[in-house]
Chain A
Amino acid sequence: MSHWLTLMLESLPSLLWAGLIFTIPLTLLSFLLGLTVGLIAAIIRLFAPGPFAAIIKFYVWIIRGTPLLVQLFLIFYGLPSVGIVLDAFTAALIGFTLNIGAYTSEILRAVISSVSKGQWEAAYSIGMSWSQAMRRTILPQAARVAVPPLSNTFISLVKDTSLAAAITVPELFQAAQRIVATTYEPLILYVEAALIYLVMSSVLSSLQGRLETRLNRYGGFLEARS
C-alpha cells in the first residue's frame, strides 16, 4: 500500500501540471467556443431561411454521426495531406469546439423554442427589436432550462479531452501514460488519473447545483400554458 501512495504522490505534481496547462484550458476554451458555435447554429436552425438551416443540419449530422476520436485524427493526421498543418493543441481545440458546437446547438435550439411565443410578443410590445428580445427576454429564460443538459455536455467534455492524448497533446492522461512507460505501474497511474477526472467532474457538478439554485430564484413559470 505504501508503494501505491509513494508512486501516486510522486507522480501527482506532473499529472496536475498537465491538467492545469492542457486539460483545463482545452476544456474551457473548447466549451466557450463550442457554445458560441452552438448558439449561432441554433439561431440559424430556428430563424434563418431553409438553405442556411440545411447547412447546420448537415453539420450536426456529420459531427454526431462520427466518432470524436476519428474527427480528431482527421484534423490532426488527415488535414496535413491537403496542406493544413496544425499543432496538436490547436487541432484538439478545433475538434472539440466543432463537437461541442453540434451537441449544444441541439440543446439550445430546444430551450430557445421552449420559451413561449407570448414572451416574444411581450418583448416586441414594449418596442424591443428581435435581438433585444432575444438577449433580454428569451435567452435568460432559456438559460435556466439549458443548465442541466449543458452541464452534462461540459462534464463529458472534461473526460473526453483525454482523447487528445491520442493526437499527442500532453494533457493529463498522456502524462499518466508517460509515467507508466517508465514505471510499469499502469494500475496505479490510471487509477490516479481517473481520480483526478472524478474530482474535476465533482467540482463541476456542485457548481451546476449552485448555478441552478441561482437561476431558479425567481420561482415557477408564470403563465398558464393554455
Chain B
Amino acid sequence: MMIELKNIVKRFGDLTVLNDVSLSVAEGAVMALVGPSGGGKSTLLRCINLLEIPTSGSVGIAGDRLEFHSGARVSAKQVQLLRRHTGMVFQNFQLFPHRTVVENVTEGLTTVLRWPKDRARERAMALLEKVGLAHKADVWPSTLSGGQQQRVAIARALAPSPKVLLCDEPTSALDPELSGEVVDVLAQLAREGTTMVMATHDLRLASKIANEVTVLDAGVIVETGTSREIFTQPKRERTKRFIATLTHEEANTQGEGI
C-alpha cells in the first residue's frame, strides 16, 4: 500500500475530529474523501502530510511509518521526512506571491532538494508545459486567473516528484468554468498513475477522477467503495442522503444564470 493510516484519532481540545479512522490507498489509486463540511475529510487529508499531527494512530507512506501517541512529541525531522513523500494542492492555491510562476515551481527543488538553478528551471518548465502554463512562466501569480493559479500550484506540488499528491478542495474556490481546467489536469495525472487523495465535495471531480471513494461524517468512515458503488448504489442511508444533497447542489449551480 502506498498510504496506510491506522487508527487515526485527532482531537482539538475536547473536540474529536477524527475517531479511529483507518484507510489505505494503493499505488496509482485515486481516493476521494467526501462528506459533509466538518465531517473530518480535510483534517484526515492534512494528517497524511502531517500538517495536522494526529493525536494517536500511525501514518505510513511509501514504506516509511510514524506512530503517534497522545502526549508524545515527534521530531520535526521525522515529520519532514514523511512529508517529503507528499505534495499538496490547497483550496486557496497558496502560491508564493513574491515569486514568479516558475520560481514557485522551482522553490522546492532549489531550497529543499538543493538542485542547481538551471536544472530546476528545466524541470519546472516541463511541469508548466504539462499544466499548459509554460507561456506564463515569468509573470507574477497575482496576474493569473484562479484556475491558472491552481494549475501552477499543481506543478509546484509535483516538482519534487512526490509519491502522493494530496488535494484539499482543489476546485471549490473556482467557479465551474475555471474548475474544469483544473479537473482536466488532475484527470490527466490520474491516468498517468499518480497516487492521489483528494478531499472534495465537487461531484464532477470525484466521479471523473476517483476510483475509490471514502465517505466521512462526524469523524468516522461511513462507507468506502468504488466511486461507481458510492455514487450509484450507496449502501448506507447516511451516504444516500449526502449524495442527494450533492446532486441537488450540482443541479442548482448548473441552473444558475450569469
Contacts and interface: CB of A to CB of B under 8 A. Distances in A.
A226 B108 contact: no
Contacts of A124: 51, 83
Contact of B86 (A118, A125, A129): A125
Nearest to A221: B97
A43 to B, nearest CB: 16
Contact of B156 (A118, A126, A137, A217): A126
A92 B88 CA distance: 50
B76 A223 contact: no
A120 B90 CA distance: 12
A218 B90 contact: no
Interface string A106-147: 000000000000110111111111101000110011001000
Contacts of A144: 98
Interface residues of A, number: 27
A181 interface: no
Interface residues of B, number: 33
A51 interface: no
Contacts of B240: none
B87 A129 contact: no
Contact of B90 (A122, A132, A136, A140): A122
Interface string A4-29: 00000000000000000000000000
B83 A222 contact: no
B57 interface: no
B92 A224 contact: yes
Contacts of B157: 125-126
Interface string B37-60: 000000000000101000000000
Interface stretch (B8-16, B140-148, B209-217): B140-148
A197 to B, nearest CB: 34
A141 to B, nearest CB: 6
A224 B84 contact: no
B37 to A, nearest CB: 13
B173 interface: yes
B251 interface: no
A129 B80 contact: yes
Contact of A141 (B51, B90, B98, B141): B98
Contact of A218 (B76, B88, B98, B159): B98
Contacts of B142: 218-222
Interface in B65-122: 76, 80, 83-84, 86-88, 90, 92-99, 107-108, 111-113
A137 B95 CA distance: 10
Given A125-B87, A126-B87, A218 B80 contact: no
A119 B94 contact: yes
Given A136-B107, A219-B143, A222-B141, A126 B112 contact: yes
8 contacts: A118-B92, A125-B86, A130-B76, A136-B111, A217-B140, A218-B141, A219-B143, A224-B173
Interface of B: 49, 51, 76, 80, 83-84, 86-88, 90, 92-99, 107-108, 111-113, 140-143, 149, 156-157, 159-160, 173
The 5 lowest CB-CB distance pairs between A and B, nearest first, are A126-B108, A219-B142, A122-B94, A125-B88, A127-B112
